[in-house]
Chain A
Amino acid sequence: MKLKDKLMSSYLAFEEQVDIDHDIHQVRDEAIKFFETTGFPTKKLEAWKYTSLNSILKEDYSIFPKKEDAIDYKDIKKYLIHDIDTYTIVFVDGIYSSHLSRTTHDKLDACLMSSALNKPKYKPVVDKYFNKIAPKESMVALNTAFANEGAYIRIPKNVAAEKPIQILNFSTGNESALMIQPRNLIIAEEGAQVQIIERHQSLTENPVLTNSVTEVFVEKNANVDYYKIQNDKTSASLIDNTYIKQSRDSVCSMHTFSFGGKITRNNLNFYQHGENINSILKGVTILEGKQHVDHNTLVHHTQPNCESHQDYKGIFSDKSVGVFNGNVYVDRIAQKTDAFQSNNNIIIDDTATCNSKPQLEIFADDVKCSHGCTIGQLDNEALYYLRSRGIPKKEARALLMFAFANNVLDSVKIPEIKKRITKQIALKLGVELGFNL
């Protein structure tokens, strides 16, 4: 059976498990209809021109995994930022794992989407925020149709979350192939502050397809600092759909570190609704083998005096493929916008591919918008310069690549993440220089 047909029939089975009189069910119904009409995205769509899902859609995925999981903390410790105190929300094969998690309702909510969707006390919040900014796109609709579990995080007015919150999705290989669709909702109310770390990690060689949707609301003067760590097995693919709505005076930064996985597609949209907003998008992508990572970003400036900063770096070897499609829209009234976009890539082997497509649509006339993208080899002159100072060719190459990628880490605010990513970059590039840049 084709995956689409399987999903359609699974939806009928899914309806039997959930309360179909619930308001949310109408949303799910509309979503599945939309997905049924549109189907999976293909390369014919401009936004999917460089990424084909064909190779991952042919697997016979289980849509509803078996309930039993038997993983211990020691199996997953290395995937956690474990050297600092955090809240953790852990899912195993799409199902919440209470013994691996540390959720809270003290001062803030860091808990489950399933509770938020089903418990009456959350109804006002769900009515206000759920599925309000996720666009009408087929992968998003597919997730909405099956939306049931994920992280629900709400930081009340003027509360600063004392520790970062980690959202972790593990897949175990209980199934021969597994599709999971986490749905996260994150709300930082006025003046609130929170740091979030998200990771999808397969513990098996069996194929895994994750289609995740996250909606983030950053209210007035709030601050959200978000990190996505993507370093999955080459049997696992991820379609990450993250939509962020910011209100006036808010700051939101997103760092995406893509070091692994089979196919990774990041749809990351920032919608600015108010003045004096700052949106920060940073990414480091280092790929080898046949890995494929596609960053599709959008920043929509709708009001005056806002900023956005996009800085994505990529290093591609072997037959890996990198895509960057960065969109910036500046509405007519969004005067004094300061929008910066940069995408720099290094191609190590002739067999690697990189597509970089900046797309700026500016309707205001008093703005500062700059963009630059480069695709190139390592700078030979720089290499010669380092070598002339006694640094051997291999080390000089590694040092240059390390410096190139490491530059993006300046804005990482959690030292443990910075340390870990720096180490990861050094490891990926085979650098052993014995100092921290």
Chain B
Amino acid sequence: MLKIQNLHASVEGEEILKGINLEINPGEVHAIMGPNGSGKSTLASVIAGNEDFEVTQGDIIFEKANISELSPEERAHRGIFLSFQYPVEIPGVSVTNFIKTSINQVRKARGEKDMPANEMLKKIREKSALLDMDRKFLSRSLNEGFSGGEKKRNEIFQMAMLEPKLAILDETDSGLDIDALRIVSDGVNRLKTKDNATLVITHYQRLLDYVVPDVVHVLLDGKIVKSGDKELAKELEERGYDWLKAEQVNA
């Protein structure tokens, strides 16, 4: 589904990603772990098409098409979704109107008609219930005055509404208490099918107890230095990253 080949990316002239190779197949959950500043969020942004980052080398292939040059909206139209680490507050646009606009713009780009109002309403009800969201919440301005947990839940709500093929969760777990973490990961798990894939980016092994990865990658200084199964996450939790850094130096 997603194939990243020798990806180099920089921001303001500074190279952050230094040759990433990554392949994700339908139905898989991948986790990317790594210390602060290793390039995790940059990787998420580059896949989603954030124009602040410049791809200097390599390709991002999504469903056999090279998407490296596509705009963020075009990538969304193809089924890529990024759950933001810091969702942006937008006063004056309600959660409901935002998601309606988003869904209908995606449909328009795919040559489909607007979703009928009653179908939209039903879907909004269903998916907000999945994430245990209050009705009142939906008429509030997007992310304005939301708590950290509410913002993350709202991200997963949008994911549920948009039903992406590839969902990238950028530090969706950080700052969540255990109840919010359960609701969020429960939501993510229920959205999993054999046809879609999830890329989880996290600091902490804790989330991976709930959203169980098939593959765990370790990102250090812009490169994936080790990949393994879920046991690797536990090892990182116990030993930290220094042993991997040492391995790097020795190699």
A-to-B contact residues, CB < 8 Å? 379-382, 384-393, 395-396, 399-400, 402-404, 406-407, 433-435, 437
The residue of chain B having its C-beta at the shortest distance from the C-beta of A382 within the complex is B88
Q: Is there an interface contact between B90 and A389, defined as CB atoms closer than 8 Å?
A: no
Most buried by A among B52, B94, B98: B98
Nearest Cβ on chain A to B50's Cβ, whole angstroms:
6
9 contacts between A and B (CB under 8 A): A385-B84, A385-B87, A387-B73, A387-B76, A388-B72, A403-B93, A404-B91, A435-B101, A437-B93
The residue of chain A having its C-beta at the shortest distance from the C-beta of B79 within the complex is A390
**Interface residue B49 (Cβ < 8 Å from any Cβ of A):** yes
Most buried by A among B50, B51, B71, B92: B92
Nearest Cβ on chain A to B49's Cβ, whole angstroms:
7
Neighbouring A residues of B104 by C-beta, 8 Å? 434
Neighbouring B residues of A379 by C-beta, 8 Å? 88
Q: Is there an interface contact between A390 and B105, defined as CB atoms closer than 8 Å?
A: yes
Neighbouring A residues of B49 by C-beta, 8 Å? 387-388
Q: Is there an interface contact between B91 and A392, defined as CB atoms closer than 8 Å?
A: no
The residue of chain A having its C-beta at the shortest distance from the C-beta of B48 within the complex is A388
Neighbouring A residues of B52 by C-beta, 8 Å? 380, 384
Nearest Cβ on chain B to A416's Cβ, whole angstroms:
21
The residue of chain B having its C-beta at the shortest distance from the C-beta of A396 within the complex is B73
The residue of chain A having its C-beta at the shortest distance from the C-beta of B114 within the complex is A434
Q: Is there an interface contact between B71 and A406, defined as CB atoms closer than 8 Å?
A: no
Q: Is there an interface contact between B91 and A384, defined as CB atoms closer than 8 Å?
A: no
Q: Is there an interface contact between A384 and B93, defined as CB atoms closer than 8 Å?
A: no
Q: Mark B37-76, 1 if CB is under 8 A from A, else 0.
A: 0000000000011111000000000000000000111011
Neighbouring B residues of A387 by C-beta, 8 Å? 49, 71-73, 76
B-to-A contact residues, CB < 8 Å? 48-52, 71-73, 75-77, 81-82, 84, 87-88, 90-94, 97-98, 100-106, 109, 114, 158, 162
CA distance A389 to B98 in the complex (A): 9
Nearest Cβ on chain A to B46's Cβ, whole angstroms:
12
Q: Is there an interface contact between B90 and A385, defined as CB atoms closer than 8 Å?
A: yes
Nearest Cβ on chain B to A219's Cβ, whole angstroms:
36
Q: Is there an interface contact between B90 and A391, defined as CB atoms closer than 8 Å?
A: no
The residue that A403 contacts in the complex, of B50, B51, B92, with Cβ under 8 A, is: B92
CA distance A51 to B243 in the complex (A): 67
CA distance A400 to B71 in the complex (A): 18
Most buried by B among A387, A390, A396, A400: A390
The residue of chain B having its C-beta at the shortest distance from the C-beta of A405 within the complex is B92
Nearest Cβ on chain B to A120's Cβ, whole angstroms:
53
Q: Is there an interface contact between B71 and A393, defined as CB atoms closer than 8 Å?
A: yes
CA distance A379 to B50 in the complex (A): 14
Q: Is there an interface contact between B77 and A390, defined as CB atoms closer than 8 Å?
A: yes
The residue that B88 contacts in the complex, of A381, A399, A407, with Cβ under 8 A, is: A381
Q: Is there an interface contact between A390 and B82, defined as CB atoms closer than 8 Å?
A: no
Other 15 A-B pairs with CB < 8 A, given A391-B101, A392-B73? A379-B88, A381-B88, A382-B88, A387-B76, A388-B50, A389-B102, A391-B73, A403-B90, A403-B91, A403-B92, A404-B92, A433-B101, A434-B114, A437-B94, A437-B97
The residue of chain B having its C-beta at the shortest distance from the C-beta of A406 within the complex is B92
- For the complex of A and B, list the 6 residue pairs with the smallest distance between their C-beta atoms, beginning with the closest: A403-B92, A390-B76, A390-B106, A389-B102, A387-B72, A385-B88
Q: Is there an interface contact between B109 and A390, defined as CB atoms closer than 8 Å?
A: yes
Q: Is there an interface contact between B92 and A390, defined as CB atoms closer than 8 Å?
A: no
The residue that B90 contacts in the complex, of A395, A400, A433, with Cβ under 8 A, is: A400
Nearest Cβ on chain A to B150's Cβ, whole angstroms:
16
The residue of chain A having its C-beta at the shortest distance from the C-beta of B49 within the complex is A388
Nearest Cβ on chain A to B106's Cβ, whole angstroms:
4
The residue of chain A having its C-beta at the shortest distance from the C-beta of B96 within the complex is A435
Most buried by B among A384, A400, A406, A433: A384
Nearest Cβ on chain B to A386's Cβ, whole angstroms:
8
CA distance A437 to B94 in the complex (A): 7
Q: Is there an interface contact between B90 and A382, defined as CB atoms closer than 8 Å?
A: yes
Q: Is there an interface contact between A390 and B73, defined as CB atoms closer than 8 Å?
A: yes
Neighbouring A residues of B91 by C-beta, 8 Å? 403-404, 407
The residue of chain A having its C-beta at the shortest distance from the C-beta of B78 within the complex is A390
Q: Is there an interface contact between A391 and B94, defined as CB atoms closer than 8 Å?
A: no
Neighbouring B residues of A388 by C-beta, 8 Å? 48-50, 72-73, 75-76, 81-82, 84
CA distance A416 to B61 in the complex (A): 51
Nearest Cβ on chain A to B84's Cβ, whole angstroms:
7
The residue that A395 contacts in the complex, of B48, B92, B103, B105, with Cβ under 8 A, is: B105
Neighbouring A residues of B101 by C-beta, 8 Å? 391, 395, 399, 433, 435
Nearest Cβ on chain B to A392's Cβ, whole angstroms:
5
Q: Is there an interface contact between A435 and B100, defined as CB atoms closer than 8 Å?
A: yes
